[in-house]
Amino acid sequence: MSWTPAEDLPPGSTDPEPVAEALSTGGVLVLSGAGISTESGIPDYRGEGGSLSRHTPMTYQDFIADAQARRRYWARSHLGWRTFGRARPNPGHRAVAAFARNGLLSGLITQNVDGLHQAAGSEGVVELHGSLDRVVCLSCGALGPRRELARRLEEANEGFEPVAAGINPDGDADLTDEQVGDFRVVPCTVCGGILKPDVVFFGEAVPPRRVEHCRKLVREATSLLVLGSSLTVMSGLRFVRQAAQAGKPVLIVNLDPTRGDRHAVTRVALPLGTALSAVASRLGIPESAQA
């Protein structure tokens, strides 16, 4: 879950012009991470004030093996969903959607589970790690909407109103064990099995067919633009390595150094909203078209 930047990494730039130049030729594949959603009020994992400094995400292994871990997760996730579900797209999300509407993108892969790209108008988004707005039964595979589960959890836990210390990129709120208390978890309505959000937990593999689809998108793209990801974990880094090995330019917009910097032609060290709005303007996309 962690990575220490090497001292010999190239420094970041504050000039977004290379990003504008890449987009102007079209065929750009975007890979976005938690950093693009920080301006929507959702913290990232590893940046300044990132959630990993105070919070250890639920692992797939713990969720499967421990009923108390599932109780703790669902209590925190249920509370976090109330805040998470109110988040709205920011200028970064809207700029990406505008790039697509203007025919500049070949595709969009996101590591995020917040649905904000779609809310901004992006279509055909590949959700690498799934989405929090769906739940899946681990026994029968039934899928259902998160809003329905939220309703059932509200009914089963009337009066559950703890004050969370913070919210995390996976929608998990920070609660103590005392605040979790005897929170009641509800089962699958089809078979009574264990419900899990339809997201890839830490320690869980991204479905192979999804990975291969993303690899195909990399093969078809002219360049890869990484937005707001430290690329610490292999789920995203592998696509950067694939693009670089194929001789396709990799451009990164991220405030902090990333594990993919040595594969990139540039890293723009600016806030995502600022950088992408500036790029849109350089490409002649008016602010009204980014709304």
Residues of each annotated binding site = 33-53, 111-114, 137, 140, 188, 191, 228-230, 272
Count other C-beta atoms under 10 Å from residue 48's C-beta.
10
Quickly list H helices, the chain: 17-24, 60-65, 67-84, 91-101, 116-119, 146-156, 177-180, 208-220, 234-245, 272-282
Q: What is d(CA 146, CA 140) in angstroms, rounded to the nearest whole number? A: 17
Catalytic, 213? Answer no
Rg of the Cα trace of the chain?
19
Compute the residue count for the chain: 291
Alpha-carbon separation of residue 9 from 5, 48, 121, 257 (angstroms)? 7, 19, 35, 8
* Catalytic residue selected from 55, 78, 117, 129: 129
Q: What is d(CA 88, CA 93) in angstroms, rounded to the nearest whole number? A: 9
3-state secondary structure of 28: strand
Annotated binding-site residues for NAD(+) read 33-53, 111-114, 228-230, 272
Known catalytic residues are 129
